[in-house]
Chain A
Amino acid sequence: GDSVTQMEGPVTLSEEAFLTINCTYTATGYPSLFWYVQYPGEGLQLLLKATKADDKGSNKGFEATYRKETTSFHLEKGSVQVSDSAVYFCALKIPPGNTPLVFGKGTRLSVIA
Chain B
Amino acid sequence: DGGITQSPKYLFRKEGQNVTLSCEQNLNHDAMYWYRQDPGQGLRLIYYSQIVNDFQKGDIAEGYSVSREKKESFPLTVTSAQKNPTAFYLCASSSTTGGAFGYTFGSGTRLTVV
Mark A residues whose CB is within 8 Å of B. Answer: 32, 34, 41-46, 89, 93, 95-98, 100-106
Show 15 residue pairs from A and B whose CB-CB distance is below 8 angstroms, ordered by the A residue: A41-B107, A42-B108, A43-B4, A43-B92, A43-B107, A43-B108, A44-B43, A44-B90, A89-B43, A97-B96, A98-B95, A98-B96, A98-B101, A101-B103, A106-B43
Is residue B72 contacting chain A, with contact meaning CB distance below 8 A?
Answer: no
- CB neighbours (8 Å) of A46 from chain B are 103
- CB neighbours (8 Å) of B76 from chain A are none
Interface of A is mostly: loop
Count of residues in B whose CB is under 8 Å from the partner chain:
25
Interface of B is mostly: strand
Whether A45 touches B58, Cβ cut-off 8 Å, given contacts A89-B42, A106-B42, is no
Report the bound CA distance from A71 to B90 in whole Å: 28
Q: Which of B31, B48, B106 contacts A43 (CB 8 A)?
A: B106
